[in-house]
Chain A
Amino acid sequence: MAKKFDVQVNNAWCKGCSLCVHICPKKVLELDEVRGKSVVARPDECIGCRQCENICPDMAITVKEKGEEKDV
């Protein structure tokens, strides 16, 4: 079975630059135009490439393999 991933966006740190939205090959993330923050729109599509996590200048995105220890 394909691995499942959990993408978390720290809203307090996200500045809505949308780099993650553009970088994601599976269009998992979208920009919430009203709040100006990145939101996880299609979590099931995530393939765990972590490009969003690494490109996020605000260190606001965490990608976790489901079943990993729950991080704070």
Chain B
Amino acid sequence: MPSQEVFSWLRTRFFPHIWCPGCGHGIIMHSLLRALVALDKKKSQTVIASGIGCSSRMAGYIDACTVHTTHGRSLAFATGIKLAKPELTVVDVMGDGDCTAIGGNHFIHACRRNIDITAVVMNNNIYGMTGGQASPTTPIGSIASTTPFGAIDPSFDICKLAEGAGASYVARATVANPKQAEQFIMKGIQNKGFSVVEIVTHCHTTFGRKNKRRTPIDNIN
């Protein structure tokens, strides 16, 4: 089923990609591409926006209209693009820090506006690219490089946040079930309104190492 169609959406010259071995972001990218292929989207009519962090690199690997913006601001850029050209399919790929910390304001307001954009939030509970600092979704008690004695602040529930702020499609999947993630992203893109698909993933390199989830498969399990 996938292969050829999915591969045609990749900028294969940049592969193998930058993500660590076993990183969930690649699984999510594959799910997203399968969803786009299944929906018969055209590359030149599809916008993939991203912010900063590991998650943001996804935009560079996908052969479409891709924009790798500033940290947390991708939804604001995406809003401008969608507003100017409503006929485009706009998907915003974000990390948890991108979405709920520095971009928290943009996130809740995109939900409130219910603009027809699909946000794929890759929640790995950590700032991976900068070396494993705590994010707003780091669970209480977890060890991160900036919470050496365990995180003391409560974490965000991204789905509840999105729902409360007014998003019209909210779903949560995990990288352990890539097929379900694909289905949810598909439904999100089909929904005419702001859709949030939180995909729980892992960063075994920086989070798992300190929290007894060292290998990729530990995290999937």
Contacts and interface: CB of A to CB of B under 8 A. Distances in A.
Nearest to A50: B1
Interface string B2-27: 11101100100001110111111111
Tell me if B's interface is mostly helix, strand, loop or mixed: helix
B165 interface: no
Interface string A2-35: 0000000000111111110011000000000000
Nearest to B2: A53
B10 A16 contact: no
Contact residues on A (Cβ < 8 Å of other chain), bracket? 20 to 34
Contact of A54 (B4, B27, B217): B27
Interface string B206-221: 0000000001110010
A54 B178 contact: yes
A50 B27 CA distance: 13
A35 to B, nearest CB: 13
A45 interface: no
B31 A18 contact: no
Interface of B: 1-4, 6-7, 10, 15-17, 19-27, 29-31, 34, 175, 178-179, 182, 215-217, 220
A41 interface: no
Nearest to B201: A57
A19 B30 contact: no
A58 to B, nearest CB: 6
A39 interface: no
Contacts of A62: 2-3
Interface of A: 12-19, 22-23, 50, 53-60, 62, 64, 71
Contacts of B179: 54
Contact of B3 (A18, A19, A64): A64
Contacts of B23: 17, 57
B26 A56 contact: yes
B176 to A, nearest CB: 8
A58 B20 CA distance: 9
Given A50-B1, A64-B3, A15 B31 contact: no
Most buried by B among A16, A17, A59, A64: A59
A6 B51 CA distance: 38
B216 A17 contact: yes
Nearest to A22: B217
Contacts of B25: 57
Contacts of B1: 50
A21 B181 CA distance: 21
Contacts of B20: 15
A16 B23 CA distance: 11
